[in-house]
Chains A and B, each alone.
Chain A
Amino acid sequence: MAAPLLEVQSVSKSFGKLQVINDLSFQVQRGEALGILGPNGAGKTTTFSLITGEHPVSAGRVFFQGADVTSLRPQQRCRLGIARTYQIPRPFSGMTVFENVLVGATYGRGQSERASRAFCRDILHETGLLARADMPAGQLRLLERKRLELARALATNPQILLLDETAGGLTEHEVHELLDVVRRIRERGVTILWIEHILHALTAIVDRLLLMDFGTKLLEGDPATVLASDELKMIYLGVD
């Protein structure tokens, strides 16, 4: 098998005395979609921050496309092709929706503004935000903010896209619309790593599931096996 696109190798993270991630290892193959499950506080979002470089690891290494990226800054990792969305959207509220996406395209993808315009338009179209393009991002509703998170990350032209509870807070209908968009992103060859509590959304997309708790991996495997596992029942239903 070829080298994995992303490899997290025995990574640990502590904030002071609090150990958030403890000796976590997993791999994501190119073109794959891996879902991450786990209760609140399991360390899922922190794992994302360690992959993007927002937080330095306390121990362990992160490899991307076979290269050690552990010491790279978030900006450098972004340009290599790692993009993420935030669970609580962080739009650039004083800028227009179009400008938000333009930031990703010009700085993340490294293109000039002129060369990026059509590309950004396509992304806004794909994520259903084109009608909102000239509106200040601060005026968007929750669903639109979530779409903007996605659009901005896509504009950096990522190899791997880290989605942090993108379906959370959406209506059933909106979740289905979102799934269509994520499927199209996958079809373009983008690898996906997705934290999500909405199981049916997750299983509609991912090839494998990773179950986390207390900052460590409990189980990893195909969705059916993980969902039927005793570990999952323990965590979510509290039964042995």
Chain B
Amino acid sequence: MIKARVAESPAGWKQLSVIQFTALGALVIGALVSLPFWGGPGVMRMLVEFLTLLALAQLWNLLAGYTGLVSIGQQAWIGIGGYALIVAADDLGLPIPLGLVLAGVAAALLALPAAGLLFRLRGGYFSVGTWVVAEILRLLVMNSTDWLRGGLGRTLTATSAMTRETRELLTYALAVVIGLGVIALVHLLMRSRTGLALTAIRDSETAAANLGIETQRIKLFVYLLCAFGTGVVGALIYLNLLRITPDAAFSVQWTAFMIFIVIIGGIGSIEGPIIGAILFFVLRQFLSDFGEWSLILLGAIAVVMMIFAPEGIWGIIRRRWQFEIFPVHRRVGASSGDAHERNAWQ
């Protein structure tokens, strides 16, 4: 089973100053916002895919890497999100952005009863349980032959009134907002009091409960939040792909990608999934010539990584250069090291 291993982060590590961090952020946001004016539609399509994978990986990392809830059933919420968008936009005639929000709400609403069952399970049993939930949802959609057209799937038609350019621009804009939004959300959450509780629950749920943390409530909150986020991203994916089938939308491959990205990049950090997503993207382009072998190669890379560098690429980088971009740890500060205090116990 995958065990969340977190790269250590001792005191005195270099961080970006507020100005540097703002500059870096402005540069990234500026590049993404201005891209439609200088990049072609091909680049935009690629970035939509990249940003959706990045958002998915960040959400999986929040769930598994920071809270210790190792789900292998996140495809459930991608499928629900995708179908919810099509129902909202095509059947109910609602605007696309509202459809995305409703997709998240639908996923969270279904995640609530699922959590009621899953939270009775621990560790590996929880993980398998999440996959079972995803399979149940796939079969339910499969059996809705009338409304959701079962195994045939459905096609998003609400956007056919738009020109291709408008649709692609809308998809891109939503992808940028969601991709950056998820990073900001995870970072703010981990720096809040709740973030403190999440890592505590991950490291020892019993001790966390004994120190006053409402473990069940906080786990439920994170589980629902990640279902909501993954549902929104699922809707975005199918706004981009237009065509949905239960087998593709509820495929465990989605979660396999999330796990790959997070493991390769570095679990339990925000930088990790960013690096992992870039690497995954590059690798996939290179390996696409290998056909079926590409998945085997990706899997092999992940296995080698887990054995030799369980802290991921970012873990290696931050240990080597003692550097963080998104620090989440609280520090006491410089005075903690002075000799007088070190000897207090003696």
Chain A residues near B (Cβ < 8 Å): 52, 54, 73-75, 78-79, 83-84, 86, 90-96, 98-100, 102-104, 106-110, 112-113, 117, 121, 124-128, 130-131, 133-136, 138-139, 147, 152, 155-156, 177, 181
Q: Tell me, in angstroms, the Cα distance from A82 to B332 when the chains sit together.
A: 27
Contact of A136 among B9, B214, B215, B336 (CB under 8 A): B9
Whether the Cβ atoms of A92 and B207 lie closer than 8 Å is yes
Q: Report 7 cross-chain contacts, Cβ distance below 8 Å, ordered by A residue.
A: A92-B202, A94-B6, A99-B329, A103-B196, A109-B212, A126-B344, A133-B336
**Once the chains bind, are B196 and A131 in contact (CB under 8 Å)?**
no
SS of A interface (majority): helix
The complex places the Cα of A108 from the Cα of B210 at a distance, in Å, of 8
Q: Which 4 A-B pairs have the closest CB atoms?
A: A128-B345, A134-B11, A131-B342, A108-B212
A177–B346 touching, CB < 8 Å? yes
Question: How far, in whole Å, are A100 and B202 apart by their CA atoms in the complex?
Answer: 13
Does B324 reach chain A (CB closer than 8 Å)? Answer: no
Q: CA separation between A128 and B213, bound complex, in Å? A: 25
Contact of B139 with A by CB under 8 A: no
B residues sitting closer than 8 Å to A (CB atoms) are 4, 6, 8-12, 193, 196-197, 199-200, 202-204, 206-215, 268, 329-333, 336-337, 341-342, 344-346
- What's the Cα separation between A75 and B206 when bound, in Å? 10
Of the residues B4, B10, B342, contact of A130 by C-beta under 8 Å: B342
Partner of A106, one of B196, B199, B203, B344: B196
Which residues of chain A come closer than 8 Å to B331, judged between CB atoms? 96, 98, 133-134
Instruction: Identify which of B11, B203, B332 contacts A94 (C-beta below 8 A).
Output: B203
**Taking CB as reference atom, which chain B residue is nearest A134?**
B11
Determine if A107 and B212 form an interchain contact, defined as CB atoms under 8 angstroms apart. Answer: yes
Is B332's CB under 8 angstroms from A121's CB?
Answer: yes
Given known A54-B209, A75-B212, contact A92–B336 (CB-CB < 8 A)? no
A-B contact number at CB 8 A: 133
Given contacts A103-B196, A136-B10, 10 further A-B contacts (CB under 8 A): A52-B210, A75-B214, A83-B210, A84-B210, A92-B203, A96-B331, A103-B211, A113-B193, A134-B11, A134-B329
Contact A134 B12 (CB under 8 A): yes
A14 CB, min distance to chain B CBs, angstroms: 20
Taking CB as reference atom, which chain A residue is nearest B66? A94
Of A84, A90, A103, A121, which is in contact with the most chain B CB atoms at under 10 Å from its CB? A103
Checking A84, A92, A135, A155 against B199 with a beta-carbon cut-off of 8 angstroms, the contacting residue is A92
Q: Which of A84, A96, A107 has the most CB of B within 10 A?
A: A107
User: Given that A94-B202, A94-B203, A177-B346 are contacting pairs, would A75 and B209 also be in contact in the complex, using a CB cutoff of 8 Å?
Assistant: yes
Nearest chain-B residue to A152 (Cβ)?
B211
Interface pair B204/A96, CB less than 8 Å apart: no
Q: Take A95-B329, A134-B332 as given contacts and tell me if A103 and B210 are in contact as well, using a CB distance cutoff of 8 Å.
A: no
Which chain B residues border A152 with CB–CB below 8 Å? 207, 211
Let me know if B332 and A78 touch, CB within 8 A: no
A131 proximity list for chain B (CB < 8 A): 336-337, 341-342
B contact residues around A109 at 8 Å (CB): 212
Give A235 to B6 CA distance when docked, in angstroms: 45
Which of B11, B203, B206, B332 is packed against the most chain A CB atoms within 10 Å? B332
A79 cross-chain contacts in B, Cβ below 8 A = 212
A113–B193 Cα gap in the complex (Å)?
Answer: 7
Instruction: Name the B residues within 8 Å of A125 (CB-CB).
Output: 341, 344
Decide if A90 touches B332 in the complex (CB within 8 Å).
no
Could you say which residues of chain A place their CB within 8 Å of the CB of B268? 94
B10 to A, closest residue via Cβ: A135
Residue of B nearest to A78 (CB): B212
Contact between chains at B210 and A106 (CB < 8 Å): no
| Alpha-carbon distance between A106 and B200 when the two chains are bound, in angstroms | 12
A residues in contact with B344, CB < 8 Å: 125-126, 128, 130
